[in-house]
Each structure stands twice: as structure tokens, then as C-alpha cells.
Amino acid sequence: MEYLRILNPDKYNVEQGQFTRFAFKNTGGGLSVVAWDCIQATGVTVCAHLRKHFKRYRNVMGDPPVFWRFDIATTFSAAPHTVESDETNGDCHHLVKGIDDETLWKVFEVQPFNNFSVCNNGTVHPATVEEIIALKTD
């Protein structure tokens, strides 16, 4: 099953040329993700869904939304985990539990930058480093 991990451009470290560990660690008991199929079933775009449910969390999501879409079964095949519904941010929000922060980081730090996406006027396109830097507010 595919999920999205929201990425805040403010968690991008320009000097290191990558997102920080904080962008991809457990919070609230697990890794916060959003189910792709669930968003599709709502009939709204991924961008509209993310804005509706996460815009109020400025420390989580910038504007426009930036995210990483991944298949959990293949991405974390070596790490035992569970995915639990967490409806605090809509019925598509879930927590991936059972994967420690170090394992999460090892998976995330090797992702090619073009695996990250940016919303743009209702559409989605691959992110560029320059675009993420321009979206930073800190």
C-alpha cells in the first residue's frame, strides 16, 4: 500500500544538501503518514487533501505541500511494523509503528531527490533542490 510522508521545506538543511533527521522520525507514537488510496477515494486532489488536514501544522507542512510517496511493503520490507489508523487529521492519516528512528533515517537518506513531490496549482511535480530552498521560511 502506498503512503505519503509530508516534508516541511524548513527541515531541509542547505549546507548538508538533504532533509534533516527530524523530517523523518517517529512522533506521536509512530511515523505519521497519509494513505494514498484513501486520498484518491475522497475525490479531491492530494494537494487539497493535505491543505485541508495539515495546513494548520506549520511545523509539519509548508505551503505548497511537499511530500514523499512510497510503497510501505517494499520500502520497509526488512523492518517488522504495523500501520494503525489515526484519525486526528482525517480518516486517511495513519501511524507506522515498530520502526526505530535510525532505521527510518537509513531508508530516507538514500531516497533520490526526485522521489519528493511538490504541489503546484492542484497538480504535483517532482521537487528540485532549488525549489525546496526557495520554499524555506526560516
Region of poorest pLDDT, from 14-18, 89-93, 125-129 = 89-93
User: What is the total count of domains within the chain?
Assistant: 1
Q: Mean of the pLDDT values across residues 111-124?
A: 91
Residue 13 bridge partners (DSSP): 18
Checking phi first, is residue 11 left (phi over 0); if not, alpha (psi -120 to 50) or beta? Answer: alpha
Among residues 52, 75, 128, which one has the least CA distance to residue 31?
75
- Could you give the CA distance from residue 27 to residue 95 in angstroms, rounded to a whole number? 9
- Could you give the CA distance from residue 66 to residue 46 in angstroms, rounded to a whole number? 11
Whole-prediction pTM value?
Answer: 0.90
Residue 89 has pLDDT above 80, yes or no: no
pLDDT per residue as tens digits for the range 50-67: 998 887 777 777 889 999
Residue 87 has pLDDT above 70, yes or no: no
Domain of 6 in residue numbering reads as 2-135
